[in-house]
Amino acid sequence: MFSLSEYVGVLLGLVAFLAALAPGCPTDPEAGFFANPTKGDAPLLCMFYDRSTGGPDTWAWDFDGDGSIDSTDQNPAHVYLTPGIYTVSLTVSKEGATNTYSRKEYIVVTESEGEPGEGDWEGEMEGEGVVEGETEGETEGQTEGQTEGIPEGQSEGEGFAEGEEEGQEEHPPGESRTFANIEFSWIPAGAFEMGSFRSAEELSEMYGDRVLYFIPEHPQHHVVISRGFWMGKYEITQAQWIALMGSNPSYYDGENLPVEQVPYQNTTDNEGNAEYGIEEFLLRLNALGQGAFRLPTEAEWEYACRAGSTTEWFFGDDINQFDTYGWWFLSIADYHTHPVGQKLPNAWNLYDTHGNVLEWCQDWYDENYYSVSPESDPPGPDSGNYRVRRGGSVRQPKSLCRSAFRTWNRPDWSTPDTGFRILREPDN
């Protein structure tokens, strides 16, 4: 019979033996994933996130339950074009061991019936992206008869005399300056007609989208911008975000791509971790002492985008000219953001105001605000549940990238098609 000391020695030896084996013991992989969003209007962009355990080294995704392999990326994206209910499966493998995890009827894609902004990105993604009715074919170059550097519908010097005040900072429209390593263009004081002069019914007939998409653009009303300001020449890039924030929240990776998946306000993710929004970015930027920076109001944004033009886009009314100036929902293969500044700018030297990413504005959103908006420097509603976004994106048709088009989202949500550009106040 073993003595107590011998018994303890055997146990300790066994523990040491098992501990030595543990690091080399293979662990079979176990598949797991989630998606964001899981429901919304077509076309619906879903991001899939691998949560498998056991250290798999291959991934095979089936996005529609037909048994085919649709992606071998670890964390892929997929666009659902057709309304329906989809089962999604992930098969992972490691050293010959495989495991499959399926989520039955997991993705629900519906036909768009609500207003843009009321779809589901975890409950609050915009219901946009309808492509039907778009005019095919694109033509490079400017509209025939258009004066170089001045978009159709805009006369030289138009749109920036009314509202100017004596003694304030003045520069040529579109003059460039750099503050805090961010390039800006000067936007002069002036006045314009905000919104669309065409009725919602006319716009729907022209572009094939639902009437309710265009209702918030009305009534068109006269707005005075009483002070000039510096507007970001480009959408804020990932490199500029990282320089201040130290990390990159974007879904699409690239230093010169616009930063996206940034909420308006600071919030927390599903695991309780801090998710910094534009509020924190501006707080840190203003602490550098190189000026007063903020988001533009909705009125300032449209005024700067139009750059004196009165047409559907700053370059004119010809939809076939769009590809020279902006990024839109061209195809599934092109369903991603693009480096800033690759298209032609408007007359005030701003790039990518049509498409690429939607841009947060300072205002709360109210569909009926145009009916009560003050004429001079409208600040937007006093409160609300949503913040305004402008300019359209790569997930939308050209009609929803127009100068007058309005949409919105919850300020605590972030999406891969929404970024921002900033405004710097004049020095006097």
Min mean pLDDT across 164-168, 173-177, 398-402 is at: 164-168
pLDDT tens, 384-396?
999 999 999 998 9
Name the pLDDT band for 72 (thresholds 50, 70, 90). confident
Q: What are phi and psi of 267, to 5 degrees?
A: -150, -165
Name the pLDDT band for 178 (thresholds 50, 70, 90). very high
Min mean pLDDT across 92-96, 212-216, 320-324, 402-406 is at: 92-96
Which 3 state secondary structure label does DSSP give 360? Answer: strand
Pairing of strands 39-41, 406-409: unpaired
Q: Which residues on adjacent β-strands are paired with residue 419?
A: 359
Name the pLDDT band for 7 (thresholds 50, 70, 90). very low
With 0-12 CB in 10 A as exposed, 13-18 as middle and 19+ as buried, what is 111? exposed
Percent of residues, the chain, with pLDDT higher than 70: 80
DSSP secondary structure code for residue 376 in this structure: B
d(CA 40, CA 118) in angstroms, rounded, equals 9
Tell whether pTM > 0.75. Answer: no
d(CA 155, CA 151) in angstroms, rounded, equals 8
What mean pLDDT is reported for the chain?
83
Is pLDDT above 90 for 345? yes
Domains in the chain, ordered, with CATH? Answer: 33-110 (2.60.40.10), 176-424 (3.90.1580.10)
Min mean pLDDT across 14-28, 72-86, 140-154 is at: 140-154
